[in-house]
């Protein structure tokens, strides 16, 4: 048994909750594993279930799962491995030889409950993905589709994280700076949502978060980032339904916020989980403002 003191030391401000994590580029990605470690170290019960391979599409149909013929991404499992597998020493780390949506569903229905005495996750986190998906391009993001399916079909709140910087990196490589920073920012947003109370997100909504680029020379420290509540540019503009926030009745576009290269702005776009092109009702926008208020900033005038 672990000493009691150690246990309380890793449960700081937030109470630990049950989280399933996934990544469309596979279970062995540095971005995914870094966030897994940060969340686990801060007291959450995290189970990872992600594709065996680093490819994806928006296909949602189920195929019969097959063995991993050529082995998993980054040589993370041998040739001919079973269709579903876990790390030999850590049952929290799982792959499924299928798409993000299928892998995350296994995590929610099978791997998570197996480790949590039959209980389901309270939250699903996707990413941090590579390349920002802004405006219209969000509709093509496999993570966005998976998040919408998690929220609508499984009834579990889901958040997608997406970073401008990043490329496929094996979990055992030295952790890149952007992976560390994105993981800390993602954990910060996650604990703000948890502290805001239940339901964690308004029913039938998701959050799509875009992080700006991180290099050695800019946005190299989490203290430099500011969180901005945004909306998707591809949404029909409907000024009638905009909640009043930051002296305006509509959130700024995610595209414009990420385009500001002089500072490190994170674009947080709440969205409808059933119809991605639908604007959120004013009362729902207000719920998001209230939930995220402790960390939000207003976008300064140019």
Ligand X SMILES: *[C@@H]1O[C@H](CO)[C@@H](O)[C@H](O)[C@H]1NC(C)=O
**By the criterion CB under 6 A, which residues form the site for ligand X?**
28, 76, 87, 89-90, 93, 171-172, 216-218, 220, 224
Smallest distance from ligand X to CB 69, Å = 17
Nearer to ligand X, 31 or 250 (CB): 31
Smallest distance from ligand X to CB 88, Å = 6
Smallest distance from ligand X to CB 13, Å = 26
Nearest position to ligand X, beta carbon: 87
Smallest distance from ligand X to CB 212, Å = 12
Nearer to ligand X, 74 or 145 (CB): 74
Q: Which of 125, 275, 297 is nearest to 200 (CA)?
A: 125
Question: In this structure, are residues 133 and 208 in contact, taking their beta carbons and an 8 Å threshold?
Answer: yes
Nearer to ligand X, 211 or 253 (CB): 211
> Please, which residues have CB within 8 angstroms of residue 219's CB and are 6 or more apart in sequence?
181, 212, 213, 225, 264
Nearer to ligand X, 28 or 200 (CB): 28
Nearer to ligand X, 64 or 216 (CB): 216
- CA distances to 142, 252, 265 from 248, rounded to whole Å, are 32, 9, 18
Smallest distance from ligand X to CB 222, Å = 12
Listed in sequence order, the DSSP H helices in the chain are 4-9, 30-41, 100-106, 112-115, 142-149, 177-195, 254-259, 282-292
The first and second tokens of residue 69, run together, are 């013929």
Longest dimension (CA), the chain: 58
Nearer to ligand X, 71 or 242 (CB): 71
Smallest distance from ligand X to CB 214, Å = 10
CA distance 206 to 278: 12
């Amino acid at each position: 048994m672990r000493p009691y003191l150690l246990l309380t030391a890793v449960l700081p401000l937030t109470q630990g909750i049950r989280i399933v994590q996934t990544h469309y580029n596979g279970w062995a990605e540095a971005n995914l594993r870094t966030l897994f470690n940060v969340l686990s170290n801060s007291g959450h019960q995290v189970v990872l279930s992600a594709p065996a391979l680093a490819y994806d599409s928006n296909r949602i149909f189920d195929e019969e799962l097959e063995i991993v013929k050529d082995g998993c991404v980054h040589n993370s499992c041998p040739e001919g491995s079973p269709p579903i597998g876990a790390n030999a020493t850590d049952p929290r780390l799982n792959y499924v030889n299928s798409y993000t949506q299928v892998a995350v569903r296994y995590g929610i229905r099978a791997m998570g409950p197996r480790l949590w005495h039959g209980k389901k996750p309270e939250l699903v986190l996707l990413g941090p993905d590579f390349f920002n998906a802004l405006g219209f391009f969000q509709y093509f993001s496999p993570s966005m589709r998976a998040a919408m399916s998690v929220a609508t079909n499984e009834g579990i709140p889901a958040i997608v994280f997406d970073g401008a910087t990043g490329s496929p990196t094996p979990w055992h490589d030295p952790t890149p700076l952007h992976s560390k920073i994105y993981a800390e920012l993602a954990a910060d947003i996650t604990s703000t949502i948890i502290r805001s109370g239940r339901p964690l997100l308004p029913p039938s909504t998701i959050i799509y978060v875009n992080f700006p680029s991180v290099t050695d020379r800019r946005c190299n420290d989490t203290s430099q980032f500011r969180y901005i509540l945004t909306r998707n540019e591809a949404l029909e503009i409907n000024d009638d339904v905009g909640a009043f926030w930051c002296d305006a009745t509509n959130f700024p576009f995610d595209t414009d916020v990420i385009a500001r290269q002089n500072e490190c702005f994170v674009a947080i776009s709440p969205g409808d989980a059933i119809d991605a092109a639908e604007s959120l009702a004013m009362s729902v926008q207000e719920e998001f403002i209230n939930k995220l208020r402790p960390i939000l900033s207003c976008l300064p005038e140019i």
